[in-house]
Amino acid sequence: MFFLPLYDDNPTRRRPVVTWMLIAACVLVFMWQVSLPPLQGRAVVFSFGVIPAVLFGNAELPPELRAVPGWASVFSSMFMHGGFLHLGGNMLYLWIFGNNVEDSMGRGRFLLFYLLCGAAAAFAQAIADPASRVPMIGASGAIGGVLGGYLMLHPHANVRVLMWIIIIVRMINVPALVVLGVWFAGQVLSGAMTPVEEGQGGVAFWAHVGGFVAGAALVPFFRRPGVPLFDRPHSRPFEVVPPPPLRRGSVPPSGGRNRP
């Protein structure tokens, strides 16, 4: 069985300009990364990624790799990715859930919220292995904060999920509480089951957990006055969503502003 979230049923009142800008920034930085020769590409990961030992002052980079101070790498690392799947998965989740969280806060507050969640994620992973000299990159921790904030704001909103069982494909409504709850539980279990080994890379599960918890904790303070927590649903949960009918010579409708 395979699940892929596509978009949600949650309307917004304002254009998610900051969400679009964050996606564009990540894509542009990744295009720059892949344009570099392999050795230079590896060097920029060390220059702009978060290295726990450097962040905590237990190690130093060679002078030729010191592009930013250790504390600044917490933010520069959020815009770098390790591959197309890494980038694509992160941007899909930011596209689906970021606009509603931005709508609840306003653009300036949402940008600050995003950066704080990313910083909390980086420190959560660094604290788990403070001696590590392996650079961490990716927007996953900051986006984890967006998911935590979304869960607090719209747990009953339904996410259109593509469900694939062998050869049977269906699109169904799944409550955000289920989609994001399963995602969070998976990160906690994966983090607990993955041994922390100095010098070994991999997925920074504790960064995802730290970002998610930070987002859930911060959203009550960042939302606009009058924006409720635990909003009502806009469609029926666990309902199979039929494909829209097409007339001869017509083109498929967009189906919703959150569709990727």
- The helix (H) or strand (E) run that includes residue 29 is helix 17-35
Amino acid at 218: L
Q: What is the pLDDT of residues 5-21, one digit of tens each?
A: 888 988 899 999 999 99
Whole-angstrom distance, CA of residue 195 vs CA of residue 156: 35
CATH number of domain containing 45:
1.20.1540.10
**How many domains are contained in the chain?**
1
Q: Is residue 90 part of a domain?
A: yes
Which of 98, 113, 227, 214 lies closest to 150 in space, CA to CA? 98
Q: Is residue 48 part of a domain?
A: yes
Lowest mean pLDDT among 32-36, 43-47, 78-82, 228-232: 228-232
The reported pLDDT for the residue numbered 244 is: 52
The reported pLDDT for the residue numbered 250 is: 44
End-to-end CA distance of the chain: 22
Whole-angstrom distance, CA of residue 256 vs CA of residue 216: 26
pLDDT band for position 68 (50/70/90)?
very high
- What is the DSSP pairing of strand 2-8 with strand 168-175? unpaired
User: What predicted TM-score, i.e. pTM, was given to this entire model?
Assistant: 0.87
**Token code pair at residue 93:** 């989740």
Q: Is residue 233 part of a domain?
A: no
Contact call for residues 155 and 177 (beta carbons, < 8 A):
yes
Whether the per-residue pLDDT at 168 is higher than 50: the answer is yes
- The helix (H) or strand (E) run that includes residue 205 is helix 205-222
Contact call for residues 152 and 229 (beta carbons, < 8 A):
yes
Contact call for residues 215 and 148 (beta carbons, < 8 A):
yes
Chain-centre distance of CA 250, in angstroms? 35
Q: Is residue 245 part of a domain?
A: no
Q: At which residue do the structure tokens 């989609």 appear?
A: 179
Q: Is residue 242 part of a domain?
A: no
Q: What is the pLDDT of residues 86-124, one digit of tens each?
A: 999 999 999 999 999 999 999 999 999 999 999 999 999
Q: What is the pLDDT of residues 198-246, one digit of tens each?
A: 545 567 888 999 999 999 999 999 999 999 999 887 778 777 776 655 5
Whole-angstrom distance, CA of residue 109 vs CA of residue 115: 10
Whole-angstrom distance, CA of residue 149 vs CA of residue 209: 13
Q: Is residue 246 part of a domain?
A: no
Contact call for residues 147 and 119 (beta carbons, < 8 A):
no
Q: Is residue 256 part of a domain?
A: no
Average pLDDT score, the chain: 87
Residue 7's φ and ψ, nearest 5 degrees, are -165, 170
Domain enclosing residue 87, as ranges? 2-194+204-222
Q: In what order do the strands lie in the sheet with 2-8?
A: 2-8, 158-165, 168-175
